[in-house]
């Protein structure tokens, strides 16, 4: 297996596995001349809603806009506070700022790495309008706990589900315990188009209509406008996503079986492996370990032909210039900061073979062994 090259993504392999169908679908859109707000988008929105078991979905041009437009549609803006986690991709907080609101960061749970629900209530003030749990790396946050707090304090719940399409909690589905679910279809996500894309899913038809209007320059009817955005999911992307949506569950199963290889081979190694609470279905958008000597392991793997990346090595409140003159409230975040210093994501995508995952795990163990080798005393 020496000389194996293992990249971090399998985009081209996935394309090749569906090439004929995708090529035909793109070709058909090109011939149809219906590229924006066309029939592929309409059909994709229906199929996505059925897949998620939700009333409506609205296709948008990114996951970031899904969050932003959800906040705007829910009336969240300047002076309002939104409680979220700093252990996430930057866009979660960025969208709160873009809506004009104030992100309030609470720490993450050391086992699940999701928002620590025991810290939410203490962060609530009269200005709090919403909670934004992130289903980090493909594992659902503790939504029953979030929903209970939200109900007691009359807050909106917006799920950042950019990394977790297809995931399930213990006895609950995504979207069942919140107001809006935000999805990203950027190529590297579990359901990815060939570029940028996103969507919201909601069981509130009036929120769906408001977002439909916002995405199209504040217009639901030709020539009639109020102020909105230009944030539509193109029909070419929708056509591709319709094809890939049919494979998402099978891909999630593949991801779980690869995670099981890592879990088994790395059990007992001096690192923290991903944790799945009982009854939850993880979809392993990423397989992230926490390990002392992370940078050294990353370079070692690189020297063995394996690309491992970090998600996220600089937490939002640690970014240079934070908070750029915008409002923000930061609670103590020791767990998030420890994660930032130690996280490493191993290759994880449905096109990765079992043999490749075994090779990655073996190289991780080789690195561990090289660090544990006792230097012989000089005489």
Look at residues 228, 221, 192, 237 and name the one whose alpha carbon lies nearest to residue 69. 228
The binder of ligand PLP chosen from 45, 52, 80, 89 (CB under 6 A): 89
Report residue 299 as tokens. Answer: 């370079």
Site string for ligand PLP, 91-110 (x = CB under 6 A): xx------------------
Question: What is each CA distance from 131 to 76, 179, 215, 268, in whole angstroms?
Answer: 11, 10, 23, 36
Q: Which is nearer to ligand PLP, 232 or 304 (CB)?
A: 232
Looking at the Cβ atoms of 120 and 364, the one nearer to ligand PLP is 120
The distance of closest approach from Cβ of residue 59 to ligand PLP in the complex, given in angstroms and rounded to an integer, is 12
Measured over all CA atoms, what is the biggest interatomic distance in the chain, rounded to whole angstroms? 87
- 336 contributes a contact to ligand PLP by CB under 6 A: no
185: CB partners within 8 A, 6+ apart: 63, 191, 192, 193, 196, 197, 198, 199, 233, 237, 241
Ranges within 148-167 binding ligand PLP (CB under 6 A): 160, 162-163
Give the total of residues touching ligand PLP (CB under 6 A).
15
Least Cβ distance, residue 202 to ligand PLP (angstroms): 17
Taking CB under 6 A as the criterion, the residue among 198, 228, 274, 347 binding ligand PLP is: 198
How far is residue 44 CA from its own chain's centroid? Answer: 20
Residue 363 to residue 273: CA distance in whole angstroms:
16
Q: Binding marks (x or -) toward ligand PLP, 57..76, rule CB under 6 A?
A: -----xxx------------
Judged by CB under 6 A, does residue 88 bind ligand PLP? yes
Is 201 a binder of ligand PLP (CB under 6 A)? Answer: no
* Closest to 136 measured CA to CA, from 158, 108, 117: 108
Is residue 266 near ligand PLP by the rule CB under 6 A? no
Q: CB-wise, 89 or 367, nearer to ligand PLP? A: 89
For residue 345, the cross-strand partners are 288, 309
Q: Report how far residue 340's alpha carbon sits from residue 350's, in angstroms, rounded to the nearest whole number.
A: 26
Kindly list the residues in this chain that would bind ligand PLP in the complex (CB under 6 A): 62-64, 88-89, 91-92, 134, 160, 162-163, 184, 186, 196, 198
């Amino acid at each position: 297996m020496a000389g194996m090259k293992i990249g971090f993504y399998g985009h081209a392999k996935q394309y090749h596995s569906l090439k004929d169908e995708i090529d035909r679908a793109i070709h058909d859109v090109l011939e149809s001349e219906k590229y924006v707000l066309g029939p592929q988008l309409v059909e994709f929105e229906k199929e996505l809603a059925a897949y998620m078991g939700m009333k409506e979905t609205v296709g948008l041009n990114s996951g970031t806009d899904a969050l932003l437009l959800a906040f705007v549609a829910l009336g969240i803006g300047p002076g309002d506070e939104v409680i979220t986690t700093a252990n996430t991709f930057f866009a979660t907080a960025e969208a709160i700022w873009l809506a004009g609101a104030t992100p309030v960061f609470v720490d993450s749970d050391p086992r699940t790495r999701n928002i620590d629900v025991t810290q939410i209530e203490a962060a609530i003030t009269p200005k709090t309008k919403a909670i934004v749990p992130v289903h980090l790396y493909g594992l659902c946050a503790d939504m029953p706990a979030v929903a209970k707090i939200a109900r007691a304090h009359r807050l909106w719940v917006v799920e950042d589900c950019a990394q977790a399409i297809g995931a399930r909690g213990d006895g609950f589905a995504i979207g069942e315990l919140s107001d809006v679910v935000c999805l990203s279809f950027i190529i590297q996500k579990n359901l990815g188009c060939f570029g940028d894309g996103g969507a919201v899913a909601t069981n509130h038809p009036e929120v769906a209509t408001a977002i439909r209007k916002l995405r199209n320059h504040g217009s639901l009817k030709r020539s009639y406008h109020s102020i909105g955005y230009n944030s539509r999911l193109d029909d070419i992307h929708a056509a591709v996503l319709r094809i890939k949506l049919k494979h998402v569950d099978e891909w999630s199963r593949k991801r779980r079986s690869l995670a099981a290889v890592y879990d088994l081979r790395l059990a007992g190694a001096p690192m923290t492996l991903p944790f799945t609470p009982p009854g939850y279905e993880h979809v392993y958008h990423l397989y992230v370990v926490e390990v002392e000597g992370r940078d050294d392991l990353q370079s070692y793997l690189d020297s063995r032909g394996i690309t491992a990346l970090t998600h996220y090595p600089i937490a939002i409140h640690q970014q240079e210039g934070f908070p750029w003159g915008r409002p923000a409230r930061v609670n103590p975040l020791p767990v998030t900061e420890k994660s930032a210093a130690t996280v490493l994501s191993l290759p994880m995508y449905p096109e990765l073979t079992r043999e490749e995952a075994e090779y990655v795990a073996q190289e991780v163990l080789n690195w561990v062994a090289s660090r544990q080798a006792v230097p012989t005393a000089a005489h």
